[in-house]
Amino acid sequence: MHLIESHAITPERDRTGHTCVGLIDVEISPEIRLYKLRLLRMRDGRHRIYAPYAGRHLAASFSADLAEKLTAMAVEALERGV
């Protein structure tokens, strides 16, 4: 798994009430790439990665372990400006 690209954005309120602070594109494996995963700053200050919406539903979901890894990757990339 590796980061393809990160996208810093102007923080904006998400429809969940949390704040989207950035987007990342990730290659999970040579067969799977995910684009525009949203890095949200939760109301309690923690960060969490979420898949984009496809209509009214999330396009994907992640196990807690994978979500933690993706979140850490996103936070690090956006802090470094990668």
Write the CA distances from 12 to 15, 20, 40, 56, 66, integer angstroms.
Answer: 10, 5, 9, 18, 24
Residue 66's domain spans which residues?
Answer: 2-80
Q: What is the pLDDT of residues 31-76, one digit of tens each?
A: 999 999 999 999 899 999 999 988 889 999 999 999 999 999 999 9
Q: Which residues contact 27 (CB under 8 A, 6 or more apart)?
A: 1, 2, 4, 33
Comparing CA positions, the residue from 31, 40, 41 lying closest to residue 1 is 31
Residue 52 has phi, psi (to 5 degrees) of -70, 165
> DSSP letter string over 54-67?
ETTEES----HHHH
Q: What is the pLDDT of residues 4-34, one digit of tens each?
A: 999 988 888 877 788 999 999 999 999 999 9
The pTM of this model reads 0.86
Domains held by the chain: number? 1
